[in-house]
Structure formats: structure tokens, C-alpha cells
Homo-oligomer: A and B are copies of this chain.
Amino acid sequence: MKKTILSISVAISCAYASEGLLLQEAKQNFGPLPKTFPSETNTLTQAKIKLGKMLFHEKRVSIDGTTSCAKCHPFSYYGADNLEKSRGNFGKLNPRNAPTVLNAAGQISQHWRGDRKDVEEQARKALLGKGSFGAPSNEWVEKKLQSIEQYTVLFKKAFPNDAKPISVANYAKAIGAWERMLSTPSRFDEFLEGRSNALTQEEKAGLKTFIKTGCASCHSGALLGGTMNQKFGMVAPYWEYTKSKKIDEGRYNVTKKEGDKYVFKVPQLRNIAMTSPYFHDGSVTSLKEAVKIMAKVQLGVDLSQEETQSIYLFLESLTGKLSQDIVTVPLLPETN
């Protein structure tokens, strides 16, 4: 009898110790998601956020009148678009997969190749992007916005000290402000804050596998990614394992540095289960398959089916809560 009690309590202590260790390891690698993603150059005011939310859904600034930020980042699909590659104005194919806009502001940079320094620059440059909004010029966009009476009022409220409140720079700042609010904490954050049973035993086992396998060496921080650039295919060429139709040289095409060949920003993993398909070219639909490929080409590890499933279950715990504000669409002003 005594022996049984002893072994039970040893088992419990071990479980506690191992749980404590897991939390400690998790805290070393990751961090809880901040409530917002502030910026030194773009103060988050209510008026700016409100306007930004409207502009995020505004199609009238695109050449075909169908393209808004929400077109490629609909919140129904967790801020991504479920396509291999996005389709912008007149259905034009974009060169890469649209990553989710949720929590995106918390990354070191924007776009797969990190060639947009922040969400504001991304929003601003997308306007003139041939495959995105396709607007002919900044002046054209400003004229469009000026033609909608209510925006005159709203831009003035959001940028009260500007001599010319309606500008593409302010359009980008407003959208940036809105995007800096798109934080979607999940049960994983509760776990990181010490509530051990916020994750199931299976999810905790998955977290352990995730760290043990080496995934966390790149997928780290509050977003489990978005903190660095890395070569896709450290161990083996990615295109031999993905279903990529062509080879994308990644950051090399931006910097022309040999060391940047096949380098991409490490994508964040927040809401990853909801934002299929995967990789810069959306070439893989199944998250489990994506996990297996990553382990193989980045770490040289052949994951077993059980390990893959285990990591998959952990990744599902990163599906966050979208606030009522995020899922409420704004009503846009009348065309004058």
C-alpha cells in the first residue's frame, strides 16, 4: 500500500517537474502575444484605428474597384485567402501566397522576402502594386478618397494636425494602426502565463516534440516566427519536397546577395491551422504534410506519423480568438 502511494506521488512529482520544465522551455523560446503591436512612428489613436478599419475594406481605391486589403486578407479565413497565390485587380495572380494579416504587425518585416519594413509600408506600396490594387498613382488614390465626402471628415479626425489630412501616407498609417490591433491570443498564451491545463496533454506533448525536433530554433518569439530570415531548404532543396511549380530565389532577388538565395522570412505560426495552403508559393495544402517537409528540409529529420500528428495538434492550439471588433465589418461611406 505504502509503496503504491509512494510511486503515485513520485509519478505526480515527475509529471509536475516535467510540466514545469516544459513551461520553462516554452517561456525560453516563446512569449505571450501582446495585446497590440505599437509603433514609434504611428501612434494608435481610436480615430486612426476606426478609419484604418474602414480603409482596410475599401475597394474604391483599386483600379478595378474590387480590390481592398480584405480581398486577400478576409477575416472569415483568419486574415489569409486560402489560395496558393492571391489574385489582385482584374484577377491578376500575385507572385506569392498571402500570409495572414492577423498578428502580422508583430514581425520584423512584411512579405515573404521581408521587403516591406512594416505594415504601413506594405499598405502604402500595395496601392500601386500591379498585382494588387493597381492604382495608377498616389494622386489618383487621393482623388478617389477625396471624392467620398465622409472620408474628408474621418481623415481630419484621424490626422487633426495635418494640413492635408487625405494622403496616401495617412491612408497607410490608418491601415497600419488598424493592423496593429489584430492580436489573436489563444490557449497557448494562457499556458505561457502559467495555466497548465489551458493545453491538453496531447497539445503539451506536441509542444515538447516541436521544441525537441528543433522547430523552435526559428519559429520562436510571441508569434512563433516572424523574427528572422532563413534559407528555405537548409538540408535539402525545398522544391524537391514541396509541390512548387517553379523555384523562387527569395530574398536574393531583392538584395542580389548570394547568401540570400532561397532565403525567406520565417513565417509566424499563429493561426497556422486556419491559413492553408502553406509556404511562400502555397504549394502544400495539408498542415501535416507541411510539418513533415519542414522537418526534412530544414532539420534533416524524418518525422514519424505520430510525431507529425503531435506537432499538428500543438499547432492547432495556436488558433486564436478574433475579437468582435475584428469580425465586425465596417459600413463604408456612400459614393458621392
* Chain A residues at the B interface, C-beta cutoff of 8 Å: 57, 59-60, 64-66, 70-71, 74-78, 81-83, 87, 89-92, 273-274, 276-277, 285-286, 322, 324, 327-332, 334-336
B330 near A76 with CB under 8 A, answer yes
How distant is A65 from chain B, measured CB to nearest CB, in Å? Answer: 5
Can you pick out 23 interface pairs between chain A and chain B where the beta carbons lie within 8 Å of each other? A59-B82, A64-B87, A65-B83, A66-B71, A66-B81, A66-B83, A66-B87, A74-B329, A76-B330, A76-B331, A82-B335, A87-B90, A87-B91, A89-B91, A273-B334, A276-B334, A276-B335, A324-B328, A327-B328, A327-B329, A327-B331, A328-B328, A329-B329
Chain B residues within 8 Å of A60, by CB: 82
A324 to B87, CA, bound (A): 29
User: Contacts A82-B60, A276-B334, A335-B285 given: A329-B66 contact, CB under 8 Å?
Assistant: no
How distant is A229 from chain B, measured CB to nearest CB, in Å? Answer: 27
How distant is A54 from chain B, measured CB to nearest CB, in Å? Answer: 8
A90 to B328, CA, bound (A): 27
Chain B residues within 8 Å of A78, by CB: 331
The residue in chain B whose Cβ has the minimal distance to the Cβ of A332 is B76
A57 near B82 with CB under 8 A, answer no
A76 near B57 with CB under 8 A, answer yes
How distant is A75 from chain B, measured CB to nearest CB, in Å? Answer: 5
A78 to B81, CA, bound (A): 22
A150 to B60, CA, bound (A): 35
A70 to B64, CA, bound (A): 17
A329 near B57 with CB under 8 A, answer no
A60 to B285, CA, bound (A): 13
Chain B residues within 8 Å of A331, by CB: 75-76, 78, 274, 322, 327
A331 to B80, CA, bound (A): 12
Chain B residues within 8 Å of A81, by CB: 59, 65-66
How distant is A316 from chain B, measured CB to nearest CB, in Å? Answer: 8
The residue in chain B whose Cβ has the minimal distance to the Cβ of A319 is B334
Chain B residues within 8 Å of A335, by CB: 82, 276-277, 285
Chain B residues within 8 Å of A91, by CB: 64, 66, 87, 89-92
The 9 closest A-B pairs by CB, nearest first: A91-B91, A276-B335, A90-B91, A57-B76, A76-B329, A76-B332, A327-B329, A65-B83, A66-B87
How distant is A333 from chain B, measured CB to nearest CB, in Å? Answer: 9
The residue in chain B whose Cβ has the minimal distance to the Cβ of A54 is B76
B332 near A77 with CB under 8 A, answer yes
How distant is A286 from chain B, measured CB to nearest CB, in Å? Answer: 8
How distant is A271 from chain B, measured CB to nearest CB, in Å? Answer: 10
A145 to B331, CA, bound (A): 30
